[in-house]
Structure 1
């Protein structure tokens, strides 16, 4: 299953030779990250070091563009406004490309595609799809406000009421998954990237049920009009063309087991 999901993650991009990439001459780029969305970016519990797919991808981009990356950790709900206001040069945390967000920030070309899935406990038997979850008023969903899973939960699973008490709000995605595991909520919506990783790491404690609820594209974000967008887009195309993104998918979605 993880292999099938991983096959969907990389988007086709036009080939671009490394020598054609712009040289940013060591320019410092301040990047906002949440470090709370494994396996894209998170703090390794063993070493205390931030790691993940996005860190590896951005390290490759920085090397090829000759730019120096400085990371700043920021809460999800503050990230887009902070980047929009120019407090940071760039942001990454599995950010879905959406028209409403594009009014505030510029997006890079998509670097990953994932499909929304329903993550539940391994012994869940009360529902097996979105309709049966919605039909039981005693069931709760965990979500991080302002995220794609939150809006999909509100508008595609429940009744379109963003204040619906059946949605328990959490500061981070990881906190919502922990609440799922302890029984405080019954469902967490997530993209297949994180969902498959959690299933693989929990030895049956979590599983995915129901049909996929659509696809989403991820991109890096920048202040409107940023001159970094074109170079980063060119680097993303190069990473796709030479197989680097495919290698990162293998590393983080097939070989890596979260929690080990």
Structure 2
């Protein structure tokens, strides 16, 4: 039985069965759902790492709410669900999807890839795009600040209030870049191996606050560190939205087909329904400026 994560905000009563993809054999549905029916984007024509398999990469551990129970294969969690929705519309069954582990910081390094695409909250950026290709965005995320309740950091109401605090985030992420480029703290922020290490440092009192994307922050605050609070949210760059994209080897001929699928998932509302199913409601989180 698949376990659902605890509700983090407003209860959502959605059924994904009706939001699922049309059959790859249904040519009438192909045009309206973004399912490549044949030709260069048919399963038999796609340039794949392994014939007949769609190889998808993510990091380990795979954190909630993007994945559930550290198991990308179960289809639970927003990014697992997106990956399987893309696979289905490309014409692959669940048992034709192969998951592999690729550390976050290694995913966007130059060179050949042992996967067809990587899904791991990887922000699209011009710097990374010099070495790899990205799909169109499948999710727009704000950055969030998490602090222990009752702490000085928890009382912050602006970015300026955070500048004299010790902050931390996972190395190589836009969360860390947001600290250095947007908050511009007086002290060098802690660049940590992963979000788990950042959470432990917060619990130990070694840092005043940590940064993560907003959905991850909701899960940390509601489930993993109940004595913490989301201080506020902000965009990584002023006036711009941070977007997550599926990552491909540079020059991938698979990317245009996946873009076609993602466009269909966006247009028919499937991506929005998956967001409502798996990601927290952002209403009520203060904006930090």
Q: TM-score, normalised by structure 1?
A: 0.78
Question: Residue 67 of structure 2 contacts residue 76 of structure 2 at CA under 8 Å; is this kept in 1?
Answer: yes
Against the structure 1 CA distance between its residues 50 and 248, is the aligned structure 2 distance closer, same or farther, given a 3 Å change threshold? closer
Task: Say which SS state the counterpart of residue 93 (structure 1) adopts.
Answer: coil
Equivalence for 1:6: none
- The alignment of Structure 1 onto Structure 2 pairs a total of residues equal to 235
| Correspondent of 2:183 among 141, 153, 157 | 157
Q: CA deviation at 1:211?
A: 5.0
Residues in 2 aligned to 1:211 and 1:112: alpha-carbon distance in whole angstroms: 16
Equivalence for 2:205: 183
Q: CA deviation at 1:37?
A: 3.4
Equivalence for 1:77: 105
- Larger Rg belongs to: 2
Q: How does 1:20-169 map to 2 (within 5 A)?
A: 20-21=35-36, 22-25=41-44, 27-35=52-60, 36-41=62-67, 43-44=69-70, 51-67=76-92, 68-81=96-109, 84-126=111-153, 127-128=155-156, 129-134=158-163, 136=164, 139-158=165-184, 166-169=188-191
Q: CA deviation at 1:40?
A: 1.3
Q: CA deviation at 1:165?
A: 6.0
Q: CA deviation at 1:30?
A: 2.1
Superposition RMSD on alpha carbons, in Å? 2.9
Against the structure 1 CA distance between its residues 104 and 2, is the aligned structure 2 distance closer, same or farther, given a 3 Å change threshold? farther
Residues in 1 aligned to 2:128 and 2:264: alpha-carbon distance in whole angstroms: 26
Any gaps of 5 or more consecutive residues in structure 1? 4-14, 256-260
Stretches of 4+ moved more than 6 A in 1?
47-50
Against the structure 1 CA distance between its residues 172 and 49, is the aligned structure 2 distance closer, same or farther, given a 3 Å change threshold? farther
Question: Residue 2 of structure 1 contacts residue 254 of structure 1 at CA under 8 Å; is this kept in 2?
Answer: yes
Residues in 2 aligned to 1:28 and 1:89: alpha-carbon distance in whole angstroms: 9
Residues in 2 aligned to 1:19 and 1:109: alpha-carbon distance in whole angstroms: 14
Bigger mean CA deviation after superposition, 182-191 or 200-209:
200-209
Q: TM-score, normalised by structure 2?
A: 0.71
Any gaps of 5 or more consecutive residues in structure 2? 1-7, 11-29, 45-50, 282-289
Question: Residue 16 of structure 1 contacts residue 241 of structure 1 at CA under 8 Å; is this kept in 2?
Answer: no
Residues in 2 aligned to 1:196 and 1:89: alpha-carbon distance in whole angstroms: 30
Against the structure 1 CA distance between its residues 20 and 155, is the aligned structure 2 distance closer, same or farther, given a 3 Å change threshold? closer
